[in-house]
Amino acid sequence: DSKTNEKVKDESETKSGTKVSQKQVRTIAKSDPKAAKPTIKLQAGEDSKDNSTAVKKPGVHKVLSLDVTNAPRDANAMGQFGQAALVGSNEDGEVKKRWNEGHFNVFLSDKIPVDRAVPDTRPEMCPQHLVHDNLPSTSVIFCFVDEVWSTLLRSVHSVLNRSPPHLLEEIILVDDFSTRDNLKEQLDVYMSQFPKVRIVRLKERQGLIRARLAGAAVAKGEVLTFLDSHIECNVGWLEPLLERVYLDRKKVPCPVIEVVSDKDMSYMLVDNFQRGIFKWPLVFGWSALPAEYIKKHNMTISDPIRCPVMAGGLFSIDKKYFYELGAYDPGLDVWGGENMEISFKIWMCGGEIEIIPCSRVGHIFRGQNPYKFPKDRQKTVERNLARVAEVWLDEYKDLFYGHGYHHLLDKKSIDIGDLTEQIALRKKLQCKSFKWYLDNVYPDMNPPLVKAEGLVFNRGLRKCLTMQKGSLLFEKCDLSKQSQHFNYTWMNHVHQQDLCIASQGKGSGFALQLCDKAKPEHRWFHKSPNSALAEHLIADFVSQHMCLEAGPQGDTLRLNPCESGNSFQKWQFTHYHAQ
Ligand code: UD2
Ligand code: MN
């Protein structure tokens, strides 16, 4: 694929921290009620199901733009057609009171219809796209814990009302041990009117990863479609996803995730050409494809977009392929990191992740998780990420730990669990390296493997550090001498080959030791020129924050209290990589 080696720049729209909605959302003007009318045009069946042929015939029917509802739609209802719902002048207290039930405007969600219409936000050409008659059927899996009643219902109705019935095998609701009792009986009663809806109840809290696995284990459809439990599927959302899986079972398509406002429940558009990316330390974000890439590949706004990582919540995957890939690492707890795991796994082991602009699903992005984490939230997420890093990142895992996660290398501070099976799986599937992934799938990231390198110049002495016979000395700087070349790494090591400079505490200076990531005395804080305490090499040894200082004669090297004006404490590497 010629697209794979393309250089892609500009990562403007990434936010760090928790997962957030795509930026630059736009509210939709009053929509055309006609857009909500059902238009069912099913053509006579194609020849029998056959997914084995390598070259598929082109699709034969236009995407079905279904939007049905049992009752006549109340055009005057609040929030109808995806519009903002309004809070009455004296209802602010009520809104506030109920906010924490879901960390969005639960009060308004309860006031708008559970099967409201949403505006058809697809690019203009989407309804004209042809798809096959013999697409595989799908099981839609929602896992949830204490989901807001009206929102859960709206999610289910949107699937029932906007999916071609013959493609919807079933909807599986996996209740991840919700604590609200009313959610149980009430849900059984309500869902009993829909033969396609099945409820699976977990006997203890498993977290979304194992909850999804529990849903997948009982699914009967050929394709699994995972959705969050606070979404609204848009018109024509399903067929474009299934079409991609039908064309190639190793394609993992994701809908465009649009935004249902947490404040007023309005359905909002997002920018075109957005793809999922990550930044260190494995933080998910969105970024637009650069204009020159779009131009070069002649892309229109309805073309599938290659996606380095998926957001996580919404995607379809061939069920057999999901299990061939080993599904999710079941050792991941509660929330977080599983989107990185499955994304790296898919790409590195022969699959592809795509965003399909003709498939659109609205999602309520919340500022906080509305449910409790059985253990500390931060510890849970960083443990999940460390598992992913250890299995998939190869030498690049130093960049993960180096961006604020050094403490995870201290084996006493965290137990990331057993990884034998995950590592064996990667071997068995003969997956490619993380370097391959970066070069071919996410070339614009191009991360430096060290923070700085080259000669280590001491400002006071005006000489360079050199390693000779297992000891450190000073010499006239000479770029051609390998003995003067050092790396400053993401582990904060200053090393030459496998020997690291280790601090030994006040007065006693340093030692050269075999580099060990778990040893804090091998770590040096060092900032490139132009920042506070710039150029100092600050020992991280028992947090005393002592600085490495050259003796005025160049015959000693010891740790002393840091002084910002002391040039014998200032060190400069030849090259600093942009971080
Ligand atoms: C995103 C993903 C989400 C998941 C998550 C973790 C989207 C739109 N959402 O954050 O699917 O990949 O990143 O990396 O891409 N849940 C349980 N048990 C739990 C915790 C959560 O069943 O212990 C359910 C929850 O009710 C919801 C789903 O899992 O339906 C996802 O959780 P979220 O909505 O809090 O995650 P989100 O959207 O912040
Ligand atoms: Mn969500």
pLDDT number for residue 507: 64
Q: Which residue has the tokens 């990331």?
A: 416
Ligand number, closest to the Cα atom of 227: 1
Task: Locate the ligand 1 atom nearest the alpha carbon of residue 363 and give its number.
Answer: 8
pLDDT number for residue 469: 87
Protein residue with least CA distance to atom 35, ligand 1? 369
Helix (H) or strand (E) holding 514: strand 510-514
Neighbours of 185 (CB within 10 A): 9
Protein residue with least CA distance to atom 2, ligand 1? 313
Nearest to 522 by CA among 391, 396, 410, 395: 410
Ligand 2 centroid, distance to 88 Cα (angstroms)? 27
pLDDT number for residue 21: 46
Residue 359 has pLDDT above 50, yes or no: yes
pLDDT number for residue 18: 39
Pocket of ligand 1, candidates 173, 317, 335, 380: which has the most ligand atoms within 8 Å of its Cβ, to mutate?
A: 335
* Distance spanning both ends of the chain, measured CA to CA: 30
Q: Which residue has the tokens 């895992």?
A: 397
Spell out which residues line ligand 1, taking CB within 6 angstroms.
Answer: 19, 143-145, 147, 176, 207-208, 211, 228-229, 257, 311-314, 334-336, 338-339, 363, 369, 371
534 pLDDT tier (thresholds 50, 70, 90): confident
pLDDT number for residue 193: 97
Residue 153 has pLDDT above 90, yes or no: yes
Task: Locate the ligand 1 atom nearest the alpha carbon of residue 146 and give its number.
Answer: 26
Task: Locate the ligand 1 atom nearest the alpha carbon of residue 226 and give its number.
Answer: 11
pLDDT number for residue 543: 58
pLDDT number for residue 509: 73
Protein residue with least CA distance to atom 31, ligand 1? 228
Residue 36 has pLDDT above 50, yes or no: no
pLDDT number for residue 562: 87
14 pLDDT tier (thresholds 50, 70, 90): very low
Q: Work out the average pLDDT over 70-97.
A: 94
29 pLDDT tier (thresholds 50, 70, 90): very low
Ligand 2 centroid, distance to 553 Cα (angstroms)? 62
pLDDT number for residue 530: 66
Q: Are strands 138-144 and 168-175 parallel, antiparallel or unpaired?
A: parallel
Protein residue with least CA distance to atom 26, ligand 1? 144
Q: Work out the average pLDDT over 10-15.
A: 34
**Dihedral (Cα; 106, 107, 113, 119), 10-degree rounding:** -70
Nearest to 557 by CA among 462, 472, 460: 472
Protein residue with least CA distance to atom 23, ligand 1? 207
Coil vs helix vs strand at 494: strand
Higher pLDDT, 545 or 309: 309
3 pLDDT tier (thresholds 50, 70, 90): very low
pLDDT in tens, 400-431: 999 999 889 877 778 999 999 999 999 999 99
- Give residues with Cβ within 8 angstroms of 354, minimum separation 6: 244, 251, 252, 253, 254, 304, 305, 306, 307
Neighbours of 440 (CB within 10 A): 16
pLDDT number for residue 59: 75
Residue 15 has pLDDT above 60, yes or no: no
Ligand 2 centroid, distance to 454 Cα (angstroms)? 46
pLDDT number for residue 55: 65
Residue 499 has pLDDT above 70, yes or no: yes
Nearest to 91 by CA among 268, 264, 267, 231: 264
pLDDT number for residue 1: 38
Range in 37-46, 383-392, 395-404, 414-423 with the lowest mean pLDDT: 37-46
**Burial category of 260 from C-beta neighbours within 10 Å (exposed 0-12, middle 13-18, buried 19 and up):** buried
- Residue ranges of domains in the chain: 450-576
CATH class as words, domain 450-576: mainly beta
Q: Percent of the chain scored above 70 by pLDDT?
A: 88
Residue 31 has pLDDT above 70, yes or no: no
pLDDT in tens, 544-554: 678 899 999 98
Protein residue with least CA distance to atom 38, ligand 1? 365
Higher pLDDT, 45 or 287: 287
Alpha helices in 278-337 (DSSP H): 291-296, 319-324
**How far, CA to CA in Å, does 233 sit from each of 160, 364, 563?**
9, 12, 60
Ligand 2 centroid, distance to 433 Cα (angstroms)? 31
260 pLDDT tier (thresholds 50, 70, 90): very high
Ligand 1 centroid, distance to 438 Cα (angstroms)? 26
Can you read off the two tokens belonging to residue 337? 């990191």
58 pLDDT tier (thresholds 50, 70, 90): confident
Average pLDDT of every residue of the chain: 89
User: 434 and 393 in contact (C-beta within 8 Å)?
Assistant: yes
pLDDT number for residue 579: 63
Q: What is the pTM of this model?
A: 0.89
User: 562 and 538 in contact (C-beta within 8 Å)?
Assistant: yes
Protein residue with least CA distance to atom 34, ligand 1? 228
Ligand 2 centroid, distance to 110 Cα (angstroms)? 18
pLDDT number for residue 253: 99
Task: Locate the ligand 1 atom nearest the alpha carbon of residue 370 and give its number.
Answer: 35
Ligand number, closest to the Cα atom of 151: 1
pLDDT number for residue 183: 78
